[in-house]
Chain A
Amino acid sequence: MDDLYLDNIDEFVNDQNKIVTYKWLSLTLGVHVNTAKQMLYHYLQQKRNESSGTPLHATYLVSGKCVENGSTYHKVSVVREDKLDAVKAKMDVTISVHVYSVQRAELKDSSPLYSTDYDAVKENLKNCNKYSAIRCAAAVPLSSSELQRAQEKALVPPVEKEISKPGFNENTSATSKPSAKQPAGIMGMFASKNASKSQESSKEVKTEQKEDFSLVETSKSKTASKANPMSNFFGKSAQKKADEKPNKSIKEEMDSSSTASATASLKQSQTSSKSETDVKEEQSKVSKALKVESKDTRNKTKRPEVVDSDDEKMLSQQKKRRRIKKPQPDSSDEEVVPDSPPVPNVHTPSPKKQVKREPVSHQEVSITNIMTEKGYVSESYSESEEEPESNSQAKDSSSLKHQKKTSAAKKPTKQPSIMGFFQKK
C-alpha cells in the first residue's frame, strides 16, 4: 500500500486540526475499516519516531473480558492513550486493541469522537457498512409492507402496558436511585434535581419499552438458536461497523422516526447508562432471558437494550457493552448518550400519547425537531387543551409529514428500512 495516505492523514490532523477516527478515515478514503486502523497506527508510529512537530494524542479501542462483582463481562472501551495500560491490566483477557482516533488536541471527553463520525455516517447512510468487518446475510432491509406491520404492532401494545406502568415505576425508582447517588462532590449540589429527572425519564423509558416487547420477542426467538450467549447479541449483526459506540450512539441519539421503538432505544440506553451493573449482570443471563418471556421487569427493561429492539430493522447488532473511559473520573463511565433532562410536561403531553408524540417526548429539542414537532408542541403548549388537541394533531401529523421531510436529513423514500431508524422526523 503506497504511503500517500500518510500525507492525507497528516493533512487532516495537523493542518485541519481534525479528529481522525478510523471510521471517519475509512469512509473518507474509501477503505476497509481494518485498513483504516492500520493506517492510523502506521501514521502514529511514523510521527512518534520523528519526535518532532506537534504532539499527537490518540485514543484506543480496547476489548476484552473482565470480572466484576463476580461475573465475567465482555467490556469494550475507548480509552485515552495514557489510560491504555491501566485498562489493559484490569482485563483478564485482552481480546483486541486498536487505534480509535488520532488528533492534536487532548480530548477531555468523548463527545467530539462521536460528533466526528456523525456527519460522515449520515452522508453514507446507505452504505455505511460498506467497509465494515461485520456481515450478516440474514440482515436485509424490510419491505415497506413489513415496515407498516411493525409500526402497527408498535402502536398496539402501549395501550395495554399503560396499566402496568405504576408497577414498573417502582422498580425503576430502585434502579435509578443508585444512579442518582452516583454524582458526587460538586454535582451533589445538583443531585436532587438529577434524581427527580432520572425518575421522570425512567418512567418514560418503561412505557416505551413495553411497546418494544412484542418486537423484542420476535427478534429473540430468532436469535435464541445460537449456542453461545454472547453471540446472541451478534446474531443478527447488521450494517454497522465493528465499532459499536458511534453506532449505538447514533441510534440512540438520532431522533426517532415516527416509530415508538426508535425512541425507546434512546430511552433504554439512558436507563442502561444509569444502571450499568444491572446490565452487565443481564448479559450473563441473556440466553435464558431471550427464551423465557419472563415477567421480571428487570429482564424486560434490559432485554430491549440488549437485543436492541428498535424496529426489526435494528434487530440485534453487536451489543457489546461500551464503556467509554473519560479522562476525568466522571461520575459515570457511560455511553456517549447523555442523560439529558426530560422536557417538562408542558412540552411533552402525557406519555400515553407517546406513540404519536414520540418527537415531543424527546428530551432534546434540536433545531430540526423543533420544526417537525411544532405541530405537536405548539398546540399542546396550552396545557388545558391537551386532550382534544391530540386528535387534531393526529390528523395534522399527516399534513405535517411532508414537513417532517424538510427537516429530516435523509429522505425516507430513499431508504425504506433498516436505515430507517436513522431518519429524523
Chain B
Amino acid sequence: MIFYKRDAPLFIKGCCIYFGCFSMATLTRQDLNFGQVVADILCEFLEVAIHLILYVREIYPSGIFQKRKKYNVPVQMSCHPELNQYIQDTLHCVKPLIQKNEAEKVVMVIMDKEHHPVERFVFEISQPPLLSISSETLLSHVEQLLRAMILKISVCDAVLDNNPPGCTFTLLVHTREAATRNMEKVQVIKDFPWIVADEQEVHMEEAKLIPLKTMTSDILKMQLYVEERTQKN
C-alpha cells in the first residue's frame, strides 16, 4: 500500500519549482509553494505519528501493523485499508488549513468504551511568520528533528499509564478563528465531512499534562504533549 502517493506529487512539484528557481533564496510566507512544502512535510509526519501512536498505545492489535521506513528509520504503519483511508482523508482536509497557517493544534484523542477521553496527544503547530529556506541542510535538519519526535513517541509508554481495553481514537483539529467557515466550500471537505467536536472530547477532566517533545526549526515549530486522565479505569 502506498501511503504518500496522494500527497507526494504535490510536494515534489512544489519543491521542484522552488529549488529550480530559487536555489537558496529566502522565501516568505506568501509563497504558496513553500506553504505547500511545509504542509506536506507536516502531514506526512502526522500520518506516521498517528500510526505509531496507534501501535504503541495498542489501540489496535499489533498484527495489522507493518514495518515501513520513514526518515530513514523503521516505523510501524497499519495495513488496514479503512483505517488508513480515514487517517489519510483527515489529514488531507487538514492540509489546506496548515498551508494557510490556520491550524493551531491537531489532537489525537483516545477514548475508552464510553467515549470518555483517556488520553489526548496534542500536536501544537506554529509556523514562523517569515519562513525562510536559507540553509542548505534545512530539510535534513528537519528530518532529524522529526526522527527524534518519532523516537519519543516510541518510548512514551514509560510515562503513560496503560489504557483500558477497547479504546478508540478520533482526530480533532483546533483552528484559529473561523477558518472552518471557508472549509465547507472546499470540495474535499464535502466528501469527508467534519463536525464540530463535542465538548466532551475537547476537554478532559482531571488531566495530567506530560510533555513529550518540542521541536523548533526555521520552517516549523511543533510541540507534542499528552494530556492524560488521572484515573483511566
Contact = CB atoms under 8 A, between A and B. Distances in A.
Interface of A: 17-19, 54, 103-112, 114-116, 118-119, 185-187, 190, 193, 249, 253-255, 328, 336-341, 343-344, 346-347, 363-368, 370-371, 373-375, 377-378, 381, 403, 405-409, 424
Interface in B1-60: 1-2, 4-5, 8-9, 11-13, 15-16, 19, 23-24, 41, 44, 55-56
B158 A370 contact: no
Contact of A366 (B72, B81, B152): B72
A368 B146 CA distance: 12
A370 B143 CA distance: 12
B67 A111 contact: yes
B159 interface: yes
B64 to A, nearest CB: 5
Given A186-B64, A328-B62, A374-B16, A367 B75 contact: no
Contact of B71 (A103, A339, A367): A367
Contact of A118 (B5, B41, B72, B79): B72
B74 A407 contact: no
Contacts of B71: 366-367
B69 A363 contact: yes
Contact of A371 (B9, B24, B68, B139): B139
B2 A338 contact: no
Given A186-B61, A405-B136, A17 B69 contact: no
A366 B154 contact: no
B124 to A, nearest CB: 20
A381 B14 CA distance: 13
Contacts of A377: 12
A339 B1 CA distance: 11
29 contacts: A17-B158, A103-B155, A103-B158, A108-B56, A110-B74, A111-B67, A112-B151, A115-B74, A115-B150, A116-B151, A119-B148, A185-B63, A190-B1, A249-B74, A254-B72, A337-B69, A339-B67, A341-B1, A341-B68, A364-B72, A366-B69, A366-B72, A367-B139, A367-B143, A374-B12, A378-B13, A406-B24, A406-B138, A407-B137
Interface in B142-188: 142-144, 146-148, 150-152, 154-159
Contacts of B11: 370
A253 B73 CA distance: 7
Q: Say whether chain B's binding surface is mostly helix, strand, loop, or mixed.
A: helix
Contacts of A187: 63-64, 66, 79
Contacts of A114: 73-74
Given A19-B151, A366-B69, A368-B140, 19 more contacts: A17-B159, A104-B155, A108-B157, A109-B67, A112-B151, A112-B154, A116-B151, A186-B63, A253-B72, A328-B62, A365-B8, A366-B71, A367-B44, A367-B140, A374-B13, A378-B12, A405-B136, A406-B136, A407-B137
A370 to B, nearest CB: 6
Interface in B71-129: 71-76, 79-81
Given A111-B75, A340-B69, A406 B137 contact: yes
B2 to A, nearest CB: 6
Contacts of A111: 67, 73-76, 154
Nearest to B45: A367
A365 B4 CA distance: 8
A378 B11 CA distance: 10
B23 to A, nearest CB: 8
A19 B155 contact: yes
Contacts of B144: 119, 409
Of B44, B62, B142, B148, chain A has the most CB atoms within 10 Å of the CB of B62
A341 B2 contact: yes
A357 to B, nearest CB: 14
B111 to A, nearest CB: 21
A118 B70 CA distance: 13
Given A106-B157, A186-B61, A328-B62, A370 B69 contact: no
B83 to A, nearest CB: 11
Given A255-B72, A364-B70, A370-B15, A108 B62 contact: yes
B12 A105 contact: no
A337 B74 CA distance: 7
A344 B74 contact: no
A381 B13 CA distance: 9
Interface string B183-226: 00000000000000000000000000000000000000000000
A424 B73 CA distance: 13
Nearest to B65: A109
Closest 5 CB pairs of A and B: A338-B67, A186-B63, A105-B158, A104-B158, A111-B74
A347 B8 contact: yes
Contacts of B142: 367
A193 B8 CA distance: 21
Contacts of A107: 154-155
Contacts of B13: 374, 378, 381
A54 B161 CA distance: 13
B140 A407 contact: yes
B95 to A, nearest CB: 16
A210 B219 CA distance: 42
Contact of B68 (A104, A185, A254, A340): A340
A119 B147 contact: yes
Contact of B73 (A115, A344, A378): A115
A332 B81 CA distance: 21
Nearest to B151: A115
A248 B9 CA distance: 31
Nearest to B153: A112
Nearest to A399: B20
A363 B1 CA distance: 11
Contacts of B138: 406
